[in-house]
Structure 1
Amino acid sequence: MFIYNSKLSLEETMTLSPHSASLGYGLSLFETIKLTKGKPEFLSAHLERINHSLTVFGSEKKLKITTVQEDIQKLLKAANVEEGAIKLMVMDLGEGDHVLLTYRPQKYKSSLYQQGFSLGFSEIVNDEKNRFTYHKTANYGSKMIEFRRGKEKGYDDVLFLNTKGWITEGAITNVFFLKDNRIYTPSLESGLLPGIMRQMVKEVLANMGKKVVETPIEKSFYRHCQSAWVTNSLMGAMPVRQIEEMEYRVTENHLTTAINAQLTDLIQSKV
């Protein structure tokens, strides 16, 4: 089932024109929103980001929080669920701006946080000069192919370098590093999506009295760090146990545990 332009459909498939700009050119934007006890986490931030992207790509469409909240509740009631994830899409940018909402169960288990993620590097680069790099569009094929290739090699995600050889982001995550008691994350100008959870983790760390240094990060930097973690809207902060040949002690990564605890409090104030 799904919501299409605020109308609930109990079908599992939908009709899409073969001339659709979404189908032909990937001209869609999307947000992935975590649900907790039937409430969408950080919905205002998600809508602010997608509405900004709509403006950048020349659309006059603006999503209203009240409408999206109502549509989410319709979908959750029909599916009889309270936990999981909503995918919110605006399709056919500038040629209809149709809004689609779908639901899926959440996939991150508590055991993963004890084990930590293993990361490798992609052979494909993020182009920091490409406008699409900074927006969550359906032009996601290269990242998904590299993500699948990484899975085949035993990685949980893959990191992308930019054209200058700097670390940018994962296929599905943003990345943070801890080195000599200082926290680093790649600068937006390096060529990455401004993740919602990336911003929330920065806020949490600021509340903990810890400053995040946003800067260009060379590929070899990870070898000199004490720990690392990745973030996205569904997982929060996930400790990293390994990047290529470099191993980190997840059991000593107490910072991610503290971050996730603080995120819980932040969620209560912003859902």
Structure 2
Amino acid sequence: MSYINFNGQVIPATEPCIQTNDRGLTLGDGLFETILIRKSSIPALAYHWKRLETSAPIIGLSIPFPSNTLETMLLALIEKNNLHDKIAGARLTLTSGNSARGILPAPGTKPNFFISVFEHAPLTKVDYSAVIVRIKKNEHAPSSRIKSTSYLDNVLAKKEAVTQGYDEAILLNTANHIADGAISNIFMVKNQHIYTPRIADGALPGVVRTILLDEFSNAFSLTEKSMTIAELIDADEVFVTNALMGIKPVTKLQDKHFMQFPCALGLQAALRERKDYL
């Protein structure tokens, strides 16, 4: 039997807990984090917490626990589900809570949260492809900067890419610049310089993206910039990042194939050494 944490209580995963008037369910009014847990170590927890603290005020949410309580709940759930010696993932979902029907929450509505954990098998396939899809990201919307439970554009973008035989979808913004992937941030390498789209261009402030910019920018000449389709396709390397995948080289972009990834693999090794990441 597997277990989840709902509002601070550990319960069987099969036990009903979400009510039909939860605004995360009915309106997508909430946030989520997907967190890597490696043998009871949480290498990027501080970065997940920082994003949660930054995102919650944007949608008027209060976080009903401090960061140290989140760590305690995550590790207790890992232990309860017998994942303490494994590579695992956790999904934290925070909603604006139960409220009467209507677009705005009733006064005094309290947030709900639930946490689930799962064994995570790192992506081992060598080939990883990406394609630019028709769905665009509105870089002017507040939702472009948060990990919102309203994830339909990402779902549809991913479906479009997979239908075409690709692994990941790349979304453009309204100015036709590169924003990010359906489940990832995107990076390109040109002449040993690494670039990634700006938050202002619609890039989600992903956790691994933030770690790389904060801790590796100088050693690897890594900067943010607006990025055109032509620049991306003309890159020497392309790679994507997310919290569970870490750094993944893209071997095919549109119809272009990439064969060597010295910058991506070097950065991957540095991330593994410093943060005990994948």
TM-score normalised per structure 1: 0.91
Distance in 2 between residues matched to 1:121 and 1:203, nearest whole Å: 28
2:258 pairs with one of 224, 248, 251:
248
Deviations 1:166-188 (A, max 9, x none): 00100000011011222111111
- The AA in structure 2 aligned to 1:123 is R
The one of 106, 121, 143 equivalent to 1:132 is 143
Partner deviation per Cα, 1:48-98 (whole Å, 9 max, x = no partner): 111211122222335412111111122111110132100111112673211
How many aligned residue pairs are there? 263
Q: Does the 8 Å CA contact 2:30/2:95 hold for their aligned counterparts?
A: yes
The SS at the match of 1:124 is strand
Aligned residue number for residue 109 of structure 1: 123
Q: Judging changes above 3 Å, is the alpha-carbon distance between structure 1 residues 248 and 164 closer, same or farther for their aligned structure 2 residues?
A: same
Aligned residue type for 2:247:
A
User: 79-88 or 98-107, which moves further after superposition?
Assistant: 98-107
Unaligned regions of 5+ residues in structure 2, if any?
Answer: 98-104
- Contact 2:189 / 2:263 at 8 angstroms: preserved in 1? no
- Please state if 1:65 is matched with 2:67: yes
8 Å Cα contact 2:30/2:94 also seen in 1 = yes
Residue in 1 that maps onto 2:203: 192
Q: Find the counterpart in structure 2 of residue 91 from structure 1.
A: 95
**1:149, 1:60 → 2: CA distance?**
35
State the distance in 1 between where 2:213 and 2:261 align: 17
Instruction: Report the identity percentage.
Output: 22
Deviations, residues 96-134 of structure 1 (Å, cap 9, x unaligned) = 211210012214333x2xx24200112110001111111
Q: Distance in 1 between matches of 2:143 and 2:248?
A: 26
Whole-Å separation in 2 of the counterparts to 1:233 and 1:222: 22
Matched residue, 2:129: 118
In 1, distance between residues paired with 2:143 and 2:123?
31
CA shift at 1:204, angstroms? 4.7
Please tell me the residue identity of whatever aligns with 1:67. T
| Residue aligning to 1:260 | 268
The equivalent of 2:46 in structure 1 is 44
Question: One-letter code of the match for 1:163?
Answer: T
Residues in 1 aligned to 2:75 and 2:223: alpha-carbon distance in whole angstroms: 38
2:165 match: secondary structure? coil
Summarize deviations over 1:145-183 as a string: whole Å, max 9, x none.
221231222211100000010001000000110112221
The equivalent of 1:224 in structure 2 is 234
Does the CA contact (< 8 Å) of 1:204 and 1:262 recur in 2?
Answer: no
After TM superposition, the structure 1 = structure 2 runs for residues 203-242 of structure 1, keeping only pairs within 5 Å, are 203-206=214-217, 208=219, 210-242=220-252
Aligned match for 2:167, one of 156, 159, 162:
156
Native 8 Å contact 1:8 1:74 kept in 2: no
Q: Which moved more, 1:48-57 or 1:27-36?
A: 48-57
**8 Å CA contact retained: 2:171, 2:182:** yes
TM-score by length of 2: 0.89
- Worse overlay, 17-26 or 55-64: 55-64
Higher helix share: 1
SS at match of 2:137: coil
1:170 matches 2:170: no
Q: Residue 230 of structure 1: CA displacement?
A: 0.4
Cα RMSD after superposing both structures: 1.8
